[in-house]
Amino acid sequence: MSLLVVGLSHRSAPVSVLERASLAADTQAKLLQDTLAAEPATEAAVLATCNRIELYADVDKFHAGVAELSTLLAQHSGVGLDELTPYLYVHYEDRAVHHLFSVACGLDSMVVGEGQILGQIKDALARGQELHTAGRLLNDLFQQALRVGKRAHSETGIDRAGQSLVSFGLQQLAAGVDPGLWAQGKRALVIGAGSMSSLAAATLARTGVAEIVVANRTRSRADRLVEILQQGDDTTVRAHAVEMSAVGDELTRADVVVSCTGATGLVLTADALADALGVTLDAPAEAPAVTAAPAPADVDQHAAWVENGSAASAPEAKAATRRVTLPAQSTGPVKLALLDLAMPRDIDGAAHRIDGVRLVDIESLADASADAPMAADVDQVRTIVADEVAAFGAAQRAAHVAPTVVALRTMAADVVAGEIARLDGRLPDLDEKQRAEITQTVRRVVDKLLHAPTVRVKQLASEPGGAGYADALRELFDLDPQTVAAVSRADLNDPNRGRS
């Protein structure tokens, strides 16, 4: 079996496609179940964030696996396969491991070095475990990815190469002013109470806003977030929760709005924002003709493309990649700052046309982060990733031969037991001391004969191309494949396996 990942991200697809392809929690569960039901896959995990959707699987056929996983992604995302295919990337075996480890370290994030992806990888693993779709390979892979990500953040300065998406977004809202000074005395409205919204609320509190209002469809979750904010030792922010129905009223009093919900439609329309500010929403101005720029209808699709990624995409998709500038924000004083971290988006993109509104969303963050300076620590993280990929591959290859070695030693122990039993029948007068000495001697002989070949086969199996040594060992010693499989199943079901 072999590791395969098929996916799309902000590096391979425009935000408009990512929005349409986003997967709700129940859809992710159905995708995992359908992937296991497909013939090429025996394990599956899905990593779905605001800027990536990736399906991981252990498959026995590469081409069939790619075709099946691509089809499943299209079916469950609702984006046609023909439309989705140009934006998909495929990684296999060591390249797939390298990709996930890079993602875990924040190297593939929209804001390089952000640490929130570790929580999302942890959630993806927990979902696979809960649904019993993650087996030996994906459990090992995702647990190791979490360790690699933590190692990168603890051993290097990758955190200095970027920040969380929230912090970076607030920097963009502040527009060159120190975020701490910019936030002083402001009233913030946070819409949503999930992990991203909670992070946003905590970041706003630390940044220094005077008050935070939390709105969520489930009031109890909003109340819980407010409770957490008020218990923080590093802030004295005032906080309270409101029903979603009160958002319109809260908009009239807010200075900053951060929205990140799981809604499939807009949470804040341009008209609602204009009404809250008491202004008229102007019609969009006629866009001037620009050579080689996309048509106005394609602005949303093309504005978020970032060409500094390593993910592979179709030539025609790359050819369509162009940097464009969205209509300028209002040049007057900012009355309402909006940060939209949702995918699909929560806030109408037309809000940028409202006088006094500044909107930062996933698209504008992609453009801004594409030009962000890369820290020297990134090279250190890449070295860590390369080393960890090699170590993971060696460990997986060694693990592949381990059940065969265990089965061989079990067979040898059975042979020793059988011969000692025969000896008891031929020499019934042996006393316990003599019998024990003979038994120990025979075991020592067998252990010495098996020691060198079993140690050597583990070493050879850990090297690239060493997977065939387990097969050779089974053939040479005529081991029952069912016995080896039984050892593998016992190891997989060990409750202590994989703990760290």
The C-alpha R_g of the chain, in whole angstroms, comes to: 29
Residue 223 has pLDDT above 90, yes or no: yes
> Judging by DSSP bridges, how do beta strands 89-92 and 211-215 pair with one another?
unpaired
Q: What percent of the chain has pLDDT over 90?
A: 44
8 A C-beta contact, residue 218 and residue 193: yes
| pLDDT band of 353, cuts 50, 70, 90 | confident
Residue 182 has pLDDT above 90, yes or no: yes
Report the distance separating Cα 393 and Cα 370, nearest Å.
32
* Mean of pLDDT values over 365-393: 81
Higher pLDDT, 478 or 449: 449
Report the distance separating Cα 362 and Cα 10, nearest Å.
9
8 A C-beta contact, residue 98 and residue 88: no
Q: Is 260 a catalytic residue?
A: no
The pTM score is 0.64
Report the distance separating Cα 306 and Cα 290, nearest Å.
20
Place of tokens 């500094």: 308
The edge-to-edge listing of strands for the beta sheet with 357-360 is 238-242, 211-215, 187-191, 256-259, 336-340, 357-360
**Per-residue pLDDT, 162:** 56
Residue 53 has pLDDT above 60, yes or no: yes
| pLDDT band of 371, cuts 50, 70, 90 | low
Lowest mean pLDDT among 223-232, 257-266, 361-370, 434-443: 361-370
* DSSP type of residue 185: T
pLDDT per position as a tens digit, 287-338: 333 333 333 333 232 223 222 333 333 333 333 332 333 344 555 688 999 9
Which among 27, 80, 82, 83 is positioned nearest to 55, based on CA atoms?
Answer: 27
Place of tokens 């005395």: 185
227, with CB counted inside 10 A (0-12, 13-18, 19+), is exposed
- Out of 50, 237, 408, 473, the active site residue is 50
pLDDT per position as a tens digit, 106-151: 999 877 888 889 999 999 999 999 999 999 899 999 999 999 999 9
Report the distance separating Cα 444 and Cα 419, nearest Å.
14
Buried-exposed string 264-286: b where 16+ CB fall within 10 A, e elsewhere: eebbbebebbbebbeeebeeeee
Peptide bond into 344 cis (omega under 30): yes
Report the distance separating Cα 5 and Cα 88, nearest Å.
10
Residue 36 has pLDDT above 60, yes or no: yes
The Cα-based distances of 442 to 405, 410, 426 in angstroms read 19, 15, 16
